[in-house]
Amino acid sequence: MSLPPQGHEFAPPYRLLLGPGPSMVHPRVLHALAQPLLGHLDPLFLGLMNEIQARLRATFRTDNAFTIALSGTGSAGMEAVIANLIEPGDRALVGVNGVFGTRLATMIERQGGVPLRIDAPWGDIIPLESLRDQLTRSAPVKAVVLVHAETSTGARQPLEEVGALCREFGALLIVDAVTSLGGMPVEVDAWGIDACYSGTQKCLSCPPGLAPLTMSPRAMEAIRQRRTPCHSWYLDLALIADYWNDQSRAYHHTAPISMLYGLREALRLVQAEGHEARCARHQLNSDALLAGLETLGLLPLPSAGHRLPMLNCVTLPDRINDAAVRTQLLQEYGIEIGGGLGPLRGRVWRIGLMGESSRQAHVLTLLGALEQIVTQQGWPAQPGRAVQAAIDTYTSSQLATRRSA
């Protein structure tokens, strides 16, 4: 067996990450990741875990005792919630209007559950009336499962009234907030969400590797009442709860120490900015980006009122060469944006303005680069118009702020 050459330390170039995740990471978070390790039962580390729980409760806007950062990416959060709450034979209503709803239906099936799909066209939302109709027809249903921010289409699922509806029918409400948490309101307690998971690599702007997760007392009771133990040992939340619980601290698996340092710092940044200011920043940068893209003929896929501020999904005019533009953006400008998935492949771009990626400078840089590229490709674009439209959005927002002050 021959050894590979010794090579050099890996030194990735600086990229502007404006895709569907991972997002840009603040230097303070990178610094936290590089700190010396502690043992996972060291009192200092246990203190850090308690602090992360408190900060996550504030971020999820909940008092749920069971609020943790699960090991693994957002998908681990998704699988943990389904594997713990859906038992063989359980029926679950699941909204399917994109990639992540489709995955949730698959996961429910793999747990032996019965996914009752409510399909909607990609880019649309699942209407409240459809949920009510299906619940009336299909009772009893163990859970209703919805994706708050469908990253494959840019659609924003309204949730304000779903929790009350679920309670009427005795169903748990499970919500995927992987892309929404940290960029738009996610009100776990006020909206009556029973299980909510997220990921670190989207609007929390931490590298991928942890899944923030919170469960209501109702959801924890459903886990205690299981007829059979959770089929996944690693993701068994009853066992994991015994490690996060300050009274027991029973070893289950070694916590990803450095990732938790990073998450603590990322949550400190979220809290320093403030909930409302952070949501407003995401909205303003999205508005400015969309104003610029419109001048290039790129219009949002979801209808007004159902658009995500952190994931701007725009449809491409026929003659644009999707792959060529994205390659040029990456190779010449160091900017990453996302293409379409599944049926939207080649038909949309997904431009992420998540967490640290959601900055005015990034919006203007991207629009400037896109204008150059599409002009080179013979598109009828007026150089400077897209950037100007975005600047106008920022200016009128400043004027509005000053007038109201």
- Chain residues binding ligand PLP by CB under 6 A are 21, 73-75, 78, 100, 147, 149, 151, 176, 178-179, 199, 201, 208
Backbone angles phi, psi at 88, to 5 degrees: -50, 130
What is the nearest approach in angstroms of ligand PLP to the Cβ of residue 213? 12
Strands 114-119 and 149-150: unpaired
What is the nearest approach in angstroms of ligand PLP to the Cβ of residue 75? 3
Cβ contacts of 271 within 8 Å, gap of 6 or more: 55, 58, 59
Residue type, 338: G
Residue 175 CB-density burial (10 A; 0-12 exposed, 13-18 middle, 19+ buried): buried
- Residue whose CB is less far from ligand PLP, 33 or 78: 78
- Residue whose CB is less far from ligand PLP, 78 or 263: 78
- Give the distance from CA 176 to its chain's centroid: 8
Residue type, 333: Y
- Residue whose CB is less far from ligand PLP, 262 or 292: 262
Integer Cα distance of 350 and 307 in angstroms = 12
What is the nearest approach in angstroms of ligand PLP to the Cβ of residue 331? 25
- Residue whose CB is less far from ligand PLP, 23 or 328: 23
Cβ contacts of 402 within 8 Å, gap of 6 or more: none
- Residue whose CB is less far from ligand PLP, 103 or 278: 103
What is the nearest approach in angstroms of ligand PLP to the Cβ of residue 209? 8
* DSSP-assigned beta bridge partners for residue 70: 211
Asked if 114 contacts 89 with a C-beta cutoff of 8 angstroms, the reply is: yes
Integer Cα distance of 77 and 45 in angstroms = 22
- Residue whose CB is less far from ligand PLP, 17 or 390: 17
CA dihedral 222, 228, 231, 233 (to 10 degrees): 80
Residue type, 20: P
Integer Cα distance of 79 and 97 in angstroms = 19
What is the nearest approach in angstroms of ligand PLP to the Cβ of residue 248? 28
Residue 400 CB-density burial (10 A; 0-12 exposed, 13-18 middle, 19+ buried): exposed
Q: Three-state DSSP class for 345? A: coil
Integer Cα distance of 151 and 349 in angstroms = 11
What is the nearest approach in angstroms of ligand PLP to the Cβ of residue 178? 4
- Residue whose CB is less far from ligand PLP, 81 or 381: 81
Residue type, 181: L
Tell me the residue number closest to ligand PLP, measured at CB: 74
Integer Cα distance of 51 and 322 in angstroms = 44
Asked if 80 contacts 70 with a C-beta cutoff of 8 angstroms, the reply is: yes
366: left (phi over 0), alpha (psi -120 to 50) or beta: alpha
- Residue whose CB is less far from ligand PLP, 85 or 147: 147
User: How far lies 333's CA from each of 96, 255, 306, 381, in Å?
Assistant: 36, 37, 31, 19
What is the nearest approach in angstroms of ligand PLP to the Cβ of residue 245? 26
- Residue whose CB is less far from ligand PLP, 68 or 291: 68
- Residue whose CB is less far from ligand PLP, 99 or 374: 99
What is the nearest approach in angstroms of ligand PLP to the Cβ of residue 212? 11
What is the nearest approach in angstroms of ligand PLP to the Cβ of residue 152? 8
